[in-house]
Each structure stands twice: as C-alpha cells, then as structure tokens.
C-alpha cells in the first residue's frame, strides 16, 4: 500500500539537534534500503519533506514513523494512495 507523507519538523531551540539528525539520517537510510521508503524529497525553503512509503497497512506506517528519532518534533500528514483508473 502506498502512502504520501508530508513531515514538517519543529525543533525547540533548546534541543541539541545534531545527534537527532544523525540518527534520523541513519534510520531513513535503513528504511530506504529496505524498500519501505522508496521516495524522499526535500521541500525547498522549509524543514520538511514529501515522502512515499510502501508498506502493507496503516499500522505498519504508524509503527515506522514512530521509530524516527525526530518523530516527537514532527507534524505529519498522511494520504493513502490508490491506483488511478487512467494510469497506463
């Protein structure tokens, strides 16, 4: 099942971001290499991204997102995707 996910990161000024960002990068690589996170794009001018996740269920996606080190500092919007009838 494919999901379009927008993640906006809002780090408080008193949080040491460097270790969290390093952990986030490592976790993102793991998920991309596994095929669960096949697409990841930065949104220009924002601390945010658009992603496509390929996982079997809503619960699987939630479990993955909650393992991201920056998860506590994210606003996340998820859109489940379905095949368009005009797709070739």
- The region that residue 7 occupies, defined by phi over 0 for left and psi between -120 and 50 for alpha, beta otherwise, is beta
| Residue 19: partners with Cβ closer than 8 Å, 6 or more residues away | none
Fold of the domain built from segment(s) 2-81: Alpha-Beta Plaits (3.30.70)
Q: What is the pLDDT of residue 72?
A: 97
pLDDT of residue 5: 98
Within 8 A by CB and 6+ apart from 65, the residues are: 5, 71, 74, 76
Q: What is the pLDDT of residues 71-82, one digit of tens each?
A: 999 999 999 999
| Residue boundaries of the structural domains of the chain | 2-81
What's the whole-model pTM score? 0.93
DSSP for 18-66, written as a single string: HHHHHHHHHHHHHHHHHTSS-EEEEPTTSSEEEEEEE-SSHHHHHHHHH
Q: pLDDT tens for residues 18-72?
A: 999 999 999 999 999 999 999 999 999 999 999 999 999 999 999 999 999 999 9
């Amino acid at each position: 099942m494919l999901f379009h996910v927008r993640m906006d990161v809002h780090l408080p000024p008193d949080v040491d971001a460097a270790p969290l960002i390093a952990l986030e990068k490592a976790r993102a690589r793991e998920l991309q290499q596994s095929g669960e996170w096949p697409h990841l794009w930065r949104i220009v001018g924002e601390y945010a991204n658009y992603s496509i996740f390929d996982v079997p269920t809503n619960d699987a996606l939630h479990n993955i997102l909650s393992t991201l080190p920056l998860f506590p500092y994210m606003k996340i919007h998820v859109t489940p995707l379905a095949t368009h009838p005009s797709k070739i």
